[in-house]
């Protein structure tokens, strides 16, 4: 029987019910201290019919925070909050990985202890504005990480993985995409270093390799995923030759036995997929270079997802807005039902509106009403 989006899939030691992945979606619904809130317990529990949920980006340290009200993985209170989320997801039969994030230069002194500058690969200021508790403020020029600080950054990922494990996450995804710290090292538009972490692509991917080493000391490799975005311009990112550079990167991590490679194909913006965004990277070739599971992401419809899986391009397909607006997306896809319309004006506004008030198709398909 040919694989399709509703067929089960082995992912390391886990068996997923289907190939639909709930993509990471930062929605600023945590507390100001970065603790997952009761509304997040319900939100993720309601969507546990996804084959796999990947959490919204979880900052691995205060240094890694780039936005207000994002749920972290660096304090005991945050870990306890995530444990309540995982209990809801597991009670509903779901699987969930934590996305480990360090925002790097996409931060602001107001997020940093002592109001110091954010860090990055190099002192390259991003265009645009930072999101802060005081509103939008201009980005600052980041401070380049010193060689002696790299081990501490790697240790932050290790500690965050330990907290993810304590919270009950089934695995973790290392966020190496979308203009955040690891991506800032990978791409030469932001990495202008001339030391062991810059210059050649082999040096530029050194931080990623060290982070993967640290995280796989906590979780076995088949419970660790990696997200990349070879040509995404989001967060003012660029690379001189993404095809060659990311072929090198994927080849370099191909023998690690990772759970999956999750790729943002083409570019996106703060609202997600850009319709008809041009592609300069051969994603079919990148996929062939990686022997493990591949998650395709960015603008997929049900029909495109089916085609990608049947063609062998993807093992799973991630959906963002569709899962946000349709807690019962798997049921709606299977039954051919109309989808709810997403309200983008509510994405980062906080509260239940545009987060937990999207209706299920019928009462019978309603997910877990998590005990809070």
Band (366; pLDDT cuts 50, 70, 90) = very low
Q: What is the mean pLDDT of residues 304-331?
A: 96
Q: Which pLDDT value is given to residue 228?
A: 97
Of these residues, 44, 180, 283, 294, which one is catalytic?
180
Rounded Cα distance, 223 and 16, in Å: 13
Q: Which pLDDT value is given to residue 299?
A: 86
List CB contacts of 306: < 8 A, sequence separation 6 or more: 4, 5
List CB contacts of 173: < 8 A, sequence separation 6 or more: 24, 54, 97, 98, 99, 100, 224, 225, 226, 227, 262
pLDDT at 235 over 50: yes
The per-residue pLDDT of the chain, averaged, comes to: 93
Measured CA to CA in angstroms, residue 86 lies from 3, 23, 82, 106 at distances of: 28, 16, 6, 28
pLDDT digits (tens, 9 = 90+) for 24-36: 999 999 999 999 9
| Domains of the chain: residue spans and CATH | 9-370 (3.20.20.70)
Decide the pairing of beta strands 129-132 and 135-138: antiparallel
pLDDT digits (tens, 9 = 90+) for 88-136: 999 999 999 999 999 999 999 999 999 999 999 999 999 999 999 999 9
Q: Is 209 helix (H, G, I), strand (E, B) or coil?
A: helix
pLDDT digits (tens, 9 = 90+) for 191-210: 999 999 999 999 999 999 99
List, as one string, the DSSP characters of 103-143. -TTSS-GGGSGGGPPPEESSS-PPSSEEEETTEEEEPPPPE
Is there a contact between 256 and 216 (Cβ–Cβ < 8 Å)?
A: yes
Any idea which residue has 């319900």 for tokens?
42
Known active-site residue 180: yes
Q: Which pLDDT value is given to residue 2?
A: 57
pLDDT at 57 over 60: yes
């Amino acid at each position: 029987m040919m694989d399709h989006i509703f067929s089960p899939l082995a992912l390391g030691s886990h068996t997923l019910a289907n190939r639909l992945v709930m993509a990471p979606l930062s929605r600023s619904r945590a507390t100001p201290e970065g603790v997952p809130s009761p509304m997040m317990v319900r939100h993720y529990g309601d969507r546990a019919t996804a084959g796999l949920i990947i959490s919204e980006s979880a900052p691995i340290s205060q240094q890694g925070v780039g936005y207000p009200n994002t749920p972290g993985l660096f304090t005991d209170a945050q870990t306890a909050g995530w444990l309540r989320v995982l209990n809801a997801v597991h009670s509903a039969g779901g699987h969930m990985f934590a996305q480990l994030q360090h925002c790097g230069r996409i931060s602001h002194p107001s997020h940093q202890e002592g109001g110091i500058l954010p860090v990055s690969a190099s002192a390259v200021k991003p265009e645009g504005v930072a999101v802060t508790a005081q509103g939008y403020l201009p980005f600052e020029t980041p401070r380049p990480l010193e060689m002696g600080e790299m081990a501490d950054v790697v240790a932050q990922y290790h500690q965050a993985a330990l907290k993810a494990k304590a919270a009950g996450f089934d695995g973790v995804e290392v966020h190496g995409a979308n203009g955040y710290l690891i991506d800032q090292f990978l791409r030469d538009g932001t990495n202008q270093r001339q030391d062991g972490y810059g210059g050649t692509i082999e040096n530029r991917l050194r931080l990623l390799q060290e982070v993967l080493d640290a995280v796989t000391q906590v979780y076995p490799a088949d419970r660790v995923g990696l997200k990349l975005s070879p040509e995404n311009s989001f967060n003012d990112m660029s690379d001189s030759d993404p095809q060659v550079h990311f072929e090198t990167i994927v080849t370099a991590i191909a023998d690690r036995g990772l759970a999956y490679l999750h790729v943002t194909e083409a570019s996106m913006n703060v609202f997600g997929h850009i319709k008809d965004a041009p592609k300069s990277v051969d994603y079919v070739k990148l996929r062939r270079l990686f022997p493990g599971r591949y998650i395709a992401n960015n603008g997929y419809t049900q029909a495109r997802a089916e085609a990608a899986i049947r063609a062998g391009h993807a093992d799973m397909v991630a959906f963002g807005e569709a899962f946000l607006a349709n807690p019962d997306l798997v049921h709606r896809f299977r039954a051919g039902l109309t989808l709810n319309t997403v309200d983008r004006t509510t994405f980062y506004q906080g509260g239940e509106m545009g987060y937990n008030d999207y209706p299920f198709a019928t009462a019978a398909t309603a997910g877990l009403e998590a005990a809070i």
